Chain A
Amino acid sequence: MRRFTAALFLLGLGVMIAAIYQHIDFSNTAVNAGQAINAVAAEETGAANFVTSVVLAYRGIDTLLELTILFTAAMIGGMVLGRRRVDAPRDPDAGFILRTGADLLFPLLLVVGLYIILHGHLTPGGGFQGGVILAAAFFLPLLARPGITLIDQRVVSLVEGLAGATFIIIGLLAMFDGKEFLTPLLDKGELGALISAGTLPILYLAVGIKVGSELAGLLAHLAEAEALD
C-alpha cells in the first residue's frame, strides 16, 4: 500500500512538473534588475564584486535579517539543548592525528577566514563564507578534544550581539546623516583597492564575525548536547 501510494505520488508530481515545464517559457529575460545593478553598481557602491554590492548595499536589509535568523537560531538552539549536566558522559578524545591536525589548522583557518572576509568586496567570498571558515576554525579543536572550553558561550553571545549591533549602528549612522537606513557611507575609494567601497568592508567584517560566532556557538551547542545514554 505504502509503495503504491508513493508511486502514485511520484507519478502525480512528475506529471505536474512535466506540465509546468511544457507550459512555461524558460528562455531567460535579459531585462532584469540584476543587469541594471551591474550597470550602476561600480559607481554607486564602489565595490568590485557586484554580488557584495547586492548583498550589503542594495539588499543590505536582507542580510541584516539573515544575520538575525542565525542569531535567533543559535539562541533557540541554546535554549532547546540546554545546559549539559556536569556528570553527563562525553565522547572520547579523538586520536593523535586529528588533534595535531586541528592544532595546525587552527591558525591557518583563522587567517584564511579573515582574508576572505576582508576581500569580500573585491573577490568571490565575503562575510558569510569567511565566517563559516572562522567557525570551522573554532569547531575543529572541539571535535578533536571534546570537553575543552575553547570558546566561552558568554563571550560568544557578547560578540554576536555586538557584531549584529555594529551592523545596525552603521545603518543608523546614515540616518543621523539624514540619509536612509544602511546607506553606504565614507569615501568609495578606488575601484578594486582593498580600502574602498566605503562602509561595505566594515559591514562585511561585522557579518563575518557574527556568522562565525553564531555558527561556532550553534555547533558548540550541538557538540555539547548530552551524548545519548
Chain B
Amino acid sequence: MDILDNNTILYIAAFGLMLIGISGIVISNHLMRIIFGIALLEAGANLLLLLSTYHEGASAPIIVADNIPTMMADPVPQALVLTAIVIGVGILALALSLAIRVQRAYGTLDMREVRLKLEQEISDEAGIDMPSSSEKPDDIAKVPLNSVVQQESGS
C-alpha cells in the first residue's frame, strides 16, 4: 500500500484523535467525558506538533559517546510537546478538582443540569427570576405605551 505510508497513518492518527476529542466535547453531556474529550484533543494536537518535523529513521537528538548520528530528529517539537503535556496535566488535575466540587455542590455532572443550576444560583443571588421565565424586564414593558393608549382612547 503506497498511499498509507507511515507519515499518512500518523497524520490520520493525529487528526483522528482530535476528531474524537472534539466529538466527545460536542456530543456528550457528562462533564467527565467532556474533560476526557479535551484530553484527547490535546493528545491529538500534541501528536500533530510532533509530526510537524517528523522524519522517518531519524535518531534521537542525543549524542552518545561522541557518536554523531547522520540524521537527528528535531528536538524543538519534542521540547514543546513536553511542555504542552505538562500543561495539559495541570489543567486536567484542575478540571478534576473543580468537577469534584461541582458534583458535591450540585449533585450532578450532567452539563445541562449544571448549567441550569448555575443559572438558578446566579439568578437567586441577583434576586431575579430565571431568565427562562417569560417575565419581561421591568422597564421595557413600562415604556410609556400603555399610558399612551389609555390617554388617547379615553378622551
Question: CB atoms of A and B under 8 A apart anywhere in the complex?
Answer: yes
From known contacts A6-B27, A10-B23, A26-B11, infer whether A80 and B75 are also in contact, taking CB-CB under 8 Å.
no
Name the prevailing secondary structure of the B interface residues.
helix
Interface residues of B in 57-90 (CB under 8 A from A): 60-66, 72-80, 82-83, 86-87, 89-90
Within 8 Å by CB of B65, from A53, A192, A215, lies: A192
Within 8 Å by CB of B66, from A53, A55, A80, A191, lies: A191
Q: Across the interface, do B75 and A51 meet the contact criterion of CB distance under 8 Å? A: yes
Q: Which of B31-39, B96-104, B131-139, B143-151 contacts A (4 or more CB under 8 A)?
A: B96-104
Q: Across the interface, do A32 and B53 meet the contact criterion of CB distance under 8 Å? A: yes
Q: Across the interface, do B23 and A9 meet the contact criterion of CB distance under 8 Å? A: yes
From known contacts A191-B63, A211-B86, A218-B93, infer whether A21 and B11 are also in contact, taking CB-CB under 8 Å.
yes
Please report the total number of B residues contacting A with Cβ < 8 Å.
Answer: 44
Task: Give the nearest-CB partner of B65 in chain A.
Answer: A192
Q: Which residues of B contact A17 (CB under 8 A)?
A: 15, 19
A149 at interface (Cβ–Cβ under 8 A)? no
Interface residues of A in 141-160 (CB under 8 A from B): none
Assembled-state Cα–Cα distance A66/B90 (Å): 9
Task: Give the nearest-CB partner of B26 in chain A.
Answer: A9
Please report the total number of A residues contacting B with Cβ < 8 Å.
Answer: 57
From known contacts A73-B94, A76-B94, infer whether A37 and B75 are also in contact, taking CB-CB under 8 Å.
yes
B45 at interface (Cβ–Cβ under 8 A)? no
Rounded to whole Å, the gap between the CB of A56 and the closest CB of chain B is: 9
Q: Across the interface, do B22 and A128 meet the contact criterion of CB distance under 8 Å? A: no
Interface residues of B in 92-115 (CB under 8 A from A): 93-94, 96-98, 100-101, 103-104
From known contacts A13-B23, A222-B97, infer whether A34 and B53 are also in contact, taking CB-CB under 8 Å.
yes
Q: Across the interface, do A9 and B61 meet the contact criterion of CB distance under 8 Å? A: no
Q: Across the interface, do A34 and B82 meet the contact criterion of CB distance under 8 Å? A: no
Q: Which residues of A contact B52 (CB under 8 A)?
A: 28
Assembled-state Cα–Cα distance A53/B62 (Å): 10
B123 at interface (Cβ–Cβ under 8 A)? no
Q: Across the interface, do A32 and B76 meet the contact criterion of CB distance under 8 Å? A: yes
Assembled-state Cα–Cα distance A2/B52 (Å): 36
Q: Across the interface, do B83 and A62 meet the contact criterion of CB distance under 8 Å? A: yes
Pick 30 A–B contacts, CB within 8 A, sort by A. A6-B27, A9-B27, A13-B22, A26-B7, A28-B53, A34-B73, A38-B72, A48-B62, A48-B63, A50-B62, A50-B75, A51-B60, A51-B62, A51-B79, A53-B75, A54-B75, A54-B78, A59-B76, A69-B87, A76-B94, A77-B94, A80-B98, A80-B100, A128-B82, A128-B86, A192-B63, A192-B66, A218-B90, A219-B93, A225-B97
